[in-house]
Amino acid sequence: MKSSEYENLVSEILACKKCPLYKSRTRAVPGEGPLDSIIMFVGEAPGKSEDEQGRPFVGAAGKLLNTLLESIGLERGGVYITNIVKCRPPENREPEESEVRACNPYLVRQLEMVNPRVVVALGRIAGKTLYEMCGLKWHNIRVARREAVKCRVGGASFKLIVTYHPAAALYNPGLREELEGDFRERIARITFQAAGRKTTLEDFILGEEKRSTAS
């Protein structure tokens, strides 16, 4: 049942004409990943590579995201990834409020279908949008990064974590250390707790060291 509902949602997104972005897109980018994933990553909007391939986070920022996931023992194929806006804004500009509003119902349905325990907002646009969808007051990304907050959107309840977008770390290397720290210290811990895993990040790192030594 869930899979057929999801297929219907994907079809709607691919054919969507709710805002002018459909006129310039190559492909809409619904999102991808397991529908029973514990964690969902939400970015801002597709870029050039994503628009060409119809998949989220497949460009340079996507490669960094894959590296960050691997650093905390997660596989890309085990997490759900999407964006606030499903079509690429021209010249990679920021999405306009009207475009965000047009796509919000799609995100609500994705949250309800996947029903993740943890949602990670990548970047200011994603953070602000999800905060407002949760009925929370948005200040700025540095304030939001301080703690995970409990949220409810439609029928989905989850902990929301906000961090920088991987693209920001590529353009501003000074942010990369902070982004890596968020993955190690917050995203890994909260996700492991949500999954009921006793394994800590320290255990994972020690395990990697033992495997490296053995090889």
Residue 204 DSSP one-character state: H
Q: Confidence class of residue 1 from pLDDT cuts 50, 70 and 90? A: low
Q: What is the pLDDT of residue 214?
A: 45
> Global pTM?
0.90
Q: What beta strand segments (E) does the chain contain?
A: 39-43, 80-83, 118-122, 149-153, 156-163
Domain CATH number, residue 75 = 3.40.470.10
Contact 88, 46 (CB under 8 A): yes
Residue 151 structural domain: 2-214
Q: How many domains does the chain have?
A: 1
| Inter-CA distances, 193 with 37, 155, 190, Å | 14, 21, 5
Three-state SS at 161: strand
Question: What pLDDT, in 10s, does the model give residues 156-212?
Answer: 999 999 999 999 999 998 899 999 999 999 999 999 998 886 444 444 444 444 434
> What's the rounded mean pLDDT across residues 20-38?
97
Question: What pLDDT, in 10s, does the model give residues 130-161?
Answer: 999 999 999 999 999 999 999 999 999 999 99
Question: What pLDDT, in 10s, does the model give residues 102-126?
Answer: 999 999 999 999 999 999 999 999 9
| Inter-CA distances, 27 with 35, 53, 117, Å | 22, 7, 29
Q: What is the pLDDT of residue 194?
A: 87
